[in-house]
Every structure is written in structure tokens, then in C-alpha cells.
């Protein structure tokens, strides 16, 4: 078998039909199909978790702490369902509509989930007025969760992390700082979080900046176009003569 040769591929499969003229190899499409199948199968155990936890909540004699934990389990399972469904939609070629996504709400949801597994000092700061973007809420929360997870891991179990949401002209800025050792000094992990955020940001017209923050550790700044700026851009395009 020559180098780079792919075996065990059905030339009549949907993967190979899509690969023709797409610039993507049959092998790459095979991985996409495999991931799609895994995500499809994951939905059943997630639904089972929701069913078992929901049934347990019907017990009127549950202690308050147990009830709270079960509600947290349900919330996290529902979030995993949202992630899987969003990935299945995107991987199938569809573009799920985002509408206006509340940035402050998405960041707070990511922070609530992070606090379940991290006991350090997490501070959130946001403006009094609502902040919206047109990025899908599932994608935005994934970005925020990746930034938070990276920061809390760097800060350590007793560290400090600050998160700030703000408007800067036509941009929305999500800034995350920690008091860890700084970039390049943190061992462990797979290094997928920040590259994934940078890639997603670029795909949606934004950018990710990394540096040192005021707490002495890392500082990442995620810039995304605000919903207002995108709407203004579309209006300007519509007003241009053909």
C-alpha cells in the first residue's frame, strides 16, 4: 500500500459524494461522519440522565441539597444536549439561526457551570445595559466556557479569575484574566481551548488576543462584532445602488 492510500472506503458512500469538488478528502469526511454518528448516539444516554434525574425530583421528601444537585445535573445534561444538537446541525451543512444572543446571560451560564467544579474566586463584571451579538448562543457559551476553563486551570483551585463584558464602539469585548503563572508556564492539558476559540472567533469576524493581565497571570480578550454593528452593515449594503 502506497503512502497516503486510504483503504476500506465505500466509493458510493455519501462522504465520497460530498468530497468530490469540495477540496476535502474522503478520509476527512469519514471523520466528520464518524463524529456525527457519535453525537447522534450520545443523545440517548443524555436523555436517560434527564429522565432519571427528573423522576428523582418527583419525590416530595427529597432534601433541599439533593434537589439542588439534581437540578444542576439536569441543567448540565440539557446543555450537553444543546451542544450536540448544534454540532449535528452545523455538520450537516445547515446554519442554525442565531437571532440576538444575550452575551451577559451566556457568560453567566458558563460561569455557573464552571463554579460547579472550581472553588476559587470568580468575579464577573458587565455593563448595566444589555449586550447582544448575532453569534449562536451555544457557540458563544462554548467560547466563554473554554476561556473560563483555561483561566481557572491556570489560577489553580484557590486562585482568582475575573471576567468582564463590555461594549467598545461596534465591538463586544469578553476579557478573562487569572492570577496564574502566565502563558507558557502552565503544564498539562491538551491545548485545545484557546486555539478553538481563536478559530471560531475568526470564522465569525472576531479575534482573540492573549497577553499578561493586571492580576499577574494570563489575560485573553475575545472581540466579537455587536449585533447593532452587523445590522447597520446589512442596512448599508442594502442601501448601495446595484
Q: Which residues pair with 161 in a beta bridge?
A: 122, 178
**166 and 209 share a domain?**
yes
Q: Which residues pair with 125 in a beta bridge?
A: 164
Locus of grid cell 442594502 = 238
Between CA 96 and CA 2 the distance in angstroms is 41
Between CA 64 and CA 62 the distance in angstroms is 6
Establish if 21 belongs to a structural domain. yes
Establish if 142 belongs to a structural domain. yes
**116 and 223 share a domain?**
yes
Establish if 238 belongs to a structural domain. no
110-122: pLDDT as tens digits: 999 999 999 999 9
132, 93 Cβ separation under 8 angstroms: no
Query: What pTM does this model have?
Result: 0.71
**133 and 42 share a domain?**
no
111, 126 Cβ separation under 8 angstroms: no
Between CA 178 and CA 216 the distance in angstroms is 7
**80 and 136 share a domain?**
no
Given 68, 91, 114, the domain boundary residue is 91
The number of distinct structural domains making up the chain is 2
Tell me the residue ranges of DSSP E strands in the chain: 101-102, 121-125, 132-133, 160-168, 171-178, 207-212, 218-225
Per-residue model confidence (pLDDT) at position 19:
44
**134 and 224 share a domain?**
yes
Per-residue model confidence (pLDDT) at position 230:
52
Per-residue model confidence (pLDDT) at position 234:
47
Range of the domain at 75: 14-91
Per-residue model confidence (pLDDT) at position 45:
83
Establish if 208 belongs to a structural domain. yes
Residue % of the chain over a pLDDT of 90:
50
Per-residue model confidence (pLDDT) at position 9:
33
Establish if 152 belongs to a structural domain. yes
Between CA 196 and CA 146 the distance in angstroms is 8
The sign of the dihedral angle between the CA atoms of 196, 202, 203, 205 is positive
Between CA 224 and CA 205 the distance in angstroms is 7
**49 and 111 share a domain?**
no
Among candidates 104, 213, 73, 198, which has minimal Cα distance to 151? 213
Sites in the chain below the pLDDT cut of 70: 1-32, 35, 90-99, 183-192, 229-242
Amino acid at each position: 500500500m502506497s503512502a497516503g492510500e486510504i483503504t476500506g472506503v465505500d466509493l458510493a458512500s455519501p462522504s465520497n459524494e460530498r468530497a468530490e469538488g469540495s477540496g476535502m478528502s474522503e478520509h476527512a469526511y469519514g471523520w466528520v461522519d464518524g463524529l456525527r454518528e457519535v453525537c447522534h448516539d450520545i443523545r440517548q444516554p443524555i436523555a436517560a440522565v434527564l429522565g432519571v434525574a427528573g423522576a428523582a425530583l418527583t419525590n416530595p421528601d427529597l432534601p433541599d441539597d439533593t434537589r439542588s444537585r439534581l437540578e444542576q445535573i439536569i441543567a448540565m445534561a440539557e446543555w450537553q444536549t444543546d451542544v450536540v444538537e448544534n454540532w449535528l446541525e452545523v455538520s450537516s451543512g445547515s446554519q442554525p439561526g442565531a437571532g440576538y444572543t444575550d452575551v451577559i446571560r451566556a457568560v453567566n451560564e458558563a460561569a455557573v457551570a464552571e463554579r460547579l467544579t472550581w472553588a476559587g474566586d470568580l468575579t464577573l463584571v458587565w455593563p448595566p445595559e444589555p449586550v447582544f451579538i448575532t453569534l449562536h448562543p451555544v457557540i458563544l457559551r462554548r467560547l466563554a466556557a473554554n476561556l473560563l476553563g483555561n483561566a481557572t486551570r491556570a489560577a489553580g483551585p484557590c486562585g482568582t479569575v475575573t471576567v468582564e463584558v463590555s461594549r467598545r464602539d461596534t465591538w463586544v469585548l469578553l476579557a478573562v484574566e487569572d492570577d496564574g503563572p502566565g502563558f507558557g508556564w502552565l503544564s498539562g492539558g491538551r491545548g485545545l481551548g484557546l486555539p478553538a476559540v481563536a478559530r471560531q472567533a475568526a470564522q465569525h469576524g472576531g479575534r482573540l488576543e492573549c497577553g499578561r493581565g493586571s492580576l499577574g497571570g494570563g489575560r485573553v480578550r475575545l472581540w466579537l462584532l455587536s449585533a447593532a454593528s452587523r445590522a447597520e452593515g446589512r442596512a448599508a449594503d442594502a442601501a448601495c445602488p446595484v
